[in-house]
Amino acid sequence: MQSSPKIFPSIHQTTPGLASSFPAKYSMVPRRLLKLPAVVMSVEYRLAPEHRHPEAYDDAMEALHWIKCNQEEWLREYADFSNCFLMGTSAGGNITYHVTLRAAEAVNELEPLQIRGMILNHPFFGGIHRTGSDRDHKYCNLAVEGGSKFLEKVRAVGWRVLVNGCEGDPLVDRRKEVLKLMEENGVEVIGRFVTGGVHAAEMFDSSWAKALHAMLKDFSFLLEGDRLVMLIK
């Protein structure tokens, strides 16, 4: 009997909160991901400035509940709900991170959907030096308001994480800080940082999109058994 493919919910953005799943420039990556043995889902959510955070996080979390409760044949017959990975690019990586923290607190509520980990591709965290509430808000500073406590829950449920970036991205240092924070809290995480490139290069350059696809295939735990993978844009 042929095994069921994964579902891959993914979030892609290059300008935080200003574009989600429909712009044509983002179609290159989903087309590549469709070559994986996975059911790939692209999540639409409310955008800034009309809708402020955490509404985008709320919508992405709602997508998980939609998958959990959905009775459509294409999901029930062809997807493995016991293996789901959350993935996000750029600001979508920020959303994926915070949705994963929420999901770690709601494991029982999401059954039979079982999340196995997250993939942060060029995640958008931080920026120029700031002060006051902008610097210390939990959406941009992951160490405040119990950030370590939430990561301990991710570690406890055994989810695995990939943080991907490139040295040509001015945000790369923030990615490395996120990687270090997860390592310090015992999360099973792998960091991959390549030379050159620009922020979210795979959205505009087919060679980078091809490299991202190859990286996901080589990321062995992503292809072990059957997986439901959620792609959040």
* HSE toward the beta carbon, residue 21, CA cutoff 13 A: 19
Please, is 59 exposed, middle or buried when counting C-beta atoms within 10 Å of its C-beta (0-12, 13-18, 19+)? Answer: buried
Query: SS3 letters for 173-217?
Result: HHHHHHHHHHHHCCCEEEEEEECCCCCCHHHCCHHHHHHHHHHHH
- The reply to whether 207 belongs to the active site is no
Measured distance CA(122)–CA(12) in Å, rounded: 10
Pick the catalytic residue: 90, 98, 122, 226? 90
Pick the catalytic residue: 12, 20, 122, 169? 169
Measured distance CA(35)–CA(54) in Å, rounded: 32
Amino acid code (one letter) for 193: F
Residue with token string 């923030």: 174
Measured distance CA(41)–CA(151) in Å, rounded: 25
- Which residues does 83 contact at the CB level (< 8 Å), separation at least 6? 6, 114, 116, 225, 226, 227, 228, 229
Sign of CA dihedral 221, 14, 148, 45: negative
Measured in whole angstroms, the distance separating CA 5 from the mean position of its chain's CA atoms is: 19
Pick the catalytic residue: 12, 98, 122, 199? 199
- The reply to whether 21 belongs to the active site is no
- The reply to whether 90 belongs to the active site is yes
- Residues serving a catalytic function are 90, 169, 199
